[in-house]
Amino acid sequence: MFRALILDWSGTLVDDSASTLAATNAVMGKYGKPPMTWEQFRESFRLPYSEWYEEHVPGVSLEELEEHFRVAFDSSDHQVTPLAGTAEFLEWCRRNGIRLFVLTSMNTEQFEQQLLEFGFDRHFEQTYSGVIDKRTMIGELLTRNGLDPTQTAYVGDMVHDIETARDGGVTSVGVLSGYDLKPQLEAADPGILLPCIKSLHALLQESIPHAQSTLGERIVIRRLAVSCFIGVPEEERAKRQTLHLTVEMTPEQEFAGLEDCLERTVDYNEVANRIGELAGRRPRRLIETLADEVAVMILQEFAVREVSVEVEKDILPATEAVLVRTRRVRTRPAG
């Protein structure tokens, strides 16, 4: 359905509601304002939060308010945790070649701390945090990363996220796991409204055509030799080795529609070059890791709907080679 997803953070991928409420009440208390319940906070809070603060504590600089909030948030006893299904969803997207980005208003230092703590940093190409009004960034994000708006969605839990998606010309996906209530999100008229990120995962999985692997047209690169540092023992990884990779790709464009035009097919020379670059980029312990990384790269960078990767390593005595194979299928492009 989508080739790229731009994701909000708080309320979409992680639950930080208790810490946020405690920190907000701490800020309000400094200016003589009564504390709010979670229900009261949800009914009134909105983005950009600079406008919300101006309504509740007018005349106080945003820098001062943010500093009070940051200190209170960091000292809160409440835990911030990934929402159910987040880790599985991000991994599934990575394995199916869906490009992932974050666009959030959250304080950059706190966001990056959580990103690393949860181990989610490896899933995202780029992250954009501390963006008070996300509508001002969505266009630049799309342009800078070469994203096609017709094949991209922005996923968030607030009306501001729906407005941001609309400004960027991408599909808006609202989730009910965070800050805004269902009537608020419904009134914003998102393209898709779902209970949570697990529901989006299920929706995207259903969009993969089950018969896709029966298509007969393939492009195969057979036994491409690549040079890399690989092996479980450190002394083995210290020596450059040659592996052979066989890559089988199902192109998005059927051969009959190519009209003998190179630009419409998969440039297998470029695929081979990218495999060589990726293999030599860093040392690895396992050939399984290399196979997975190559498959994900091909789905992300080339017009391929399915790919299988076989890696051969001459390592065991009395054998021709040791082989590992992996297969990845990308979700159908939007439209």
Give me the phi and psi of 109, to 5 degrees please: -65, -45
The span from the CA of 67 to the CA of 152, in Å, is 34
Pairing mode of beta strands 240-251, 219-229: antiparallel
Contact 243, 230 (CB under 8 A): yes
Helix (H) or strand (E) run with residue 326 in it: strand 322-329
Tokens describing residue 152: 């991209």
What is the rounded average pLDDT of the residues 272-297? 94
Are 190 and 174 contacting, i.e. CB atoms less than 8 angstroms apart?
yes
- Domain 4-14+80-207, classified CATH 1.10.10.10, yes or no: no
Convert the pLDDT of each residue in 217-264 to its tens digit. 889 999 999 999 999 998 888 889 999 999 999 988 778 778 888 888
* CA 27 remoteness from chain centre: 32
Query: DSSP letter string over 164-196?
Result: HHHHHTSEEEEESSSSS-HHHHHHH--SEEESS
**CB of 198 closer than 8 Å to CB of 177:** no
Q: Where are the beta strands (DSSP E) in 30-111?
A: 81-82, 99-103
* Rounded Cα–Cα distance for residues 246 and 288 (Å): 14
pLDDT at 215: 46
Tokens in use for 242? 């040659």
For residue 99, the Cα-to-chain-centroid distance in whole angstroms is 6
Q: What is the mean pLDDT of residues 180-190?
A: 95
Residue 256: burial class (beta carbons within 10 Å; 0-12, 13-18, 19+): exposed
Tokens of 57: 């504590």
Give pLDDT, residue 318. Answer: 80
Q: Is domain 212-329 given the CATH code 3.30.1130.10 in the classification?
A: yes
pLDDT, tens digit, 9 for 90 and up, residues 144-164: 999 999 999 999 999 999 999
User: Which pLDDT belongs to residue 214?
Assistant: 42
Q: Which of 224, 317, 233 is nearest to 283 (CA)?
A: 233
| E-assigned strand segments in 141-277 | 152-156, 171-175, 192-194, 219-229, 240-251
Give me the pLDDT at residue 335, please: 38
Instruction: Report domain extents, the chain.
Output: 4-14+80-207, 17-45+53-74, 212-329
pLDDT of 216 reads: 60
Do the beta carbons of residue 291 and residue 247 sit within 8 Å? Answer: no
Does the bond joining 48 to the residue before it have cis omega, within 30 degrees of 0? yes
Are 48 and 66 a contacting pair, CB within 8 Å?
Answer: no
pLDDT at 212: 45
Residues in CB range of 170: below 8 A, 6 or more apart: 6, 138, 142, 147, 149, 152, 153, 154
Query: With contact defined as beta carbons under 8 Å apart, do 205 and 197 qualify?
Result: no
Please give the C-alpha separations between residue 246 and each of 190, 212, 319, in angstroms, as whole numbers: 43, 20, 18
Mean of the pLDDT values across residues 188-214? 81
Contact 108, 114 (CB under 8 A): no
How many residues does this entry show for the chain?
A: 335
Residue 171 and residue 334 in contact, taking contact as beta carbons nearer than 8 Å: yes
Give me the pLDDT at residue 313, please: 92
Helix (H) or strand (E) holding 202: helix 197-206
